[in-house]
Structure 1
C-alpha cells in the first residue's frame, strides 16, 4: 500500500481524507459498456446489430481508515458519510465528475484496533459530467460540443408564444408570461420559484432536444427575449 500514489477522492466535493477515509491506490479509469444486441436473421449475411443505451458503471474503490479512535467506531461514522454520496470526483481529473446512483460497502478487514480497510462498490451513471456555466443568449448561437451528445437545460424568458430551434428542430412555447425551464435530461418543463415547482409541460410542444457532438445551432423567435442554457457536456 502506498497512499502517496493515490489521487484525492472527492465525494459530494468533500475530500474523503477530511473524514478519515483514505484511498489505498490510484483509481482505475472506467469506461461504460454499450448495450448492444446482435440478432441472427436467416438468409442475412452477418447479424443485425441493435445499439441501445450505455449501461451503469460498477466501480469498486479501496479505502483505509487509521484514526486515533478505534476502527469500528470510525467505520460507523465513515459509512454514514459514504451512504450520502451523490457525486464522485478525483484530484487528477478535476474538470469532470461521476453521478452516484448507489453504493455498497463490503465487510471491512479490521487488522489492528485503529486500522482497517474496506471496498466501496459505487454504481455510477455511465457518463463523466463537466461542471458548465449557464450561458445567456439573445440571438442565433452555435454551441460546440466537444464530447458525447448531451441533454441541456434551457430556460426561456417569454411574453406569450414563441419557438426555439435546435439544429432546425422546433419546440413551441405557448402562453408563457415569465419563464419556462426545459430540463432535457428529466424530460420536464416547469417553472421554479422560491422552492415551488409549477408543471408547464402543457405549454411546450416538441421533443426535448439533445446537443450532438460538434456544432449545434440554437435560435428562437416570437415572444421569447432570451435563453439561458447550460449544455451539460458529458463524456464516456
Structure 2
C-alpha cells in the first residue's frame, strides 16, 4: 500500500488515506539566464548555480465511509498545520523532501471511493537523507565520502581552543580565539556557539561545502575533534 509520512504522521496508518498511484517526482530546474548582446553571436549564458522548487501532486482517496465530515476536518488540519515539514514516501523511505501543502483540499465523490482529492506539495529542490547522522573526526587528514549527487551544506562543530585553520579539500577556513566550541552552519551561512551567540567575526573564509565523492578534511591548531552533520542531498 502506497503512503506518505508528513509532519510525523502516516497518511494510511493515521488517516486511512489511499494513494491512487505513485506520484511523479520531478527533478528541479536549474536557474540559467541567457542574454542577447548586440554585435555578438549567440547568447551569453549566466548560470546562478541554484535550482527552483519542485511541485509534487499526490492523488488521494478515502474508502472508509465512517465519520467522513470529521475525518475531512482532521485531515485538513494535519496537512496545513504541519506547515513546512519532512515528506517521506513509502517507496523511498531513506530519502525525504522539505515540503509544504499549498492547495485548497477539495473532496469529491467518485466510484469505489467515498472521496478523492489531490494533495499538492511545494518542495525545496533537493531530496535529503532521512538518517542525517553526525560524523565524528578525531584525527586530521580524514576522508569523508559524500554519497549524494551534488555538494552538501554541512553543519560542522569544531571543538578546540585558540586559533585554528580548517581545510576541506581546497577550502581553508580560519577560526580565531575559539573557546571550547564553534559551529559553522553552511546551510544558513552563519557561525555561532551553543547558545546561538553570533561568532561570524571569529571566522575568515567561505562556509565549507562537501563535494560529491571523497572529501579530505584536515586542520592545524588545538582541535580535540570535529563533528559533521553532513546534510547529504540528491537531485
The two structures have a TM-score, normalised by structure 2, of 0.88
2:229 corresponds in structure 1 to: 230
2:168 corresponds in structure 1 to: 166
Aligned pairs (5 A) from 1:50-89:
50-52=46-48, 53-83=50-80, 84-85=82-83, 86-89=85-88
Distance of aligned partners of 1:167 and 1:32 in 2 relative to their CA distance in 1, 3 Å threshold: same
2:9 pairs, out of 5, 8, 14, with 14
Contact kept? 1:105, 1:119, Cα under 8 Å:
no
Aligned pairs (5 A) from 1:57-206:
57-83=54-80, 84-85=82-83, 86-111=85-110, 115-130=114-129, 131-138=131-138, 139-146=140-147, 147-192=149-194, 196-206=195-205
1:175 to partner: Cα distance: 1.6
Contact kept? 1:87, 1:99, Cα under 8 Å:
yes
1:65 to partner: Cα distance: 2.4
Q: Does 1:43 align with 2:42?
A: no
d(CA) in 2 for partners of 1:77 and 1:111? Answer: 21
The two structures have a TM-score, normalised by structure 1, of 0.88
1:98 to partner: Cα distance: 0.4
Contact kept? 1:182, 1:189, Cα under 8 Å:
yes
Distance of aligned partners of 1:74 and 1:101 in 2 relative to their CA distance in 1, 3 Å threshold: closer
Contact kept? 2:101, 2:119, Cα under 8 Å:
no
Distance of aligned partners of 1:68 and 1:107 in 2 relative to their CA distance in 1, 3 Å threshold: closer
1:222 to partner: Cα distance: 0.7
Q: Which moved more, 1:181-190 or 1:15-24?
A: 15-24
Aligned residue for 2:70, secondary structure, equals: helix
d(CA) in 1 for partners of 2:177 and 2:65? Answer: 62
Contact kept? 1:67, 1:74, Cα under 8 Å:
no
Contact kept? 1:54, 1:126, Cα under 8 Å:
yes
Aligned residue for 1:81, secondary structure, equals: helix
Aligned residue for 2:136, secondary structure, equals: strand
Contact kept? 1:71, 1:110, Cα under 8 Å:
no
In angstroms, what is the RMSD of aligned CA positions?
2.0
Aligned residue for 2:207, secondary structure, equals: coil
d(CA) in 2 for partners of 1:99 and 1:31? Answer: 14
| Unaligned 5+ runs, structure 1 | none
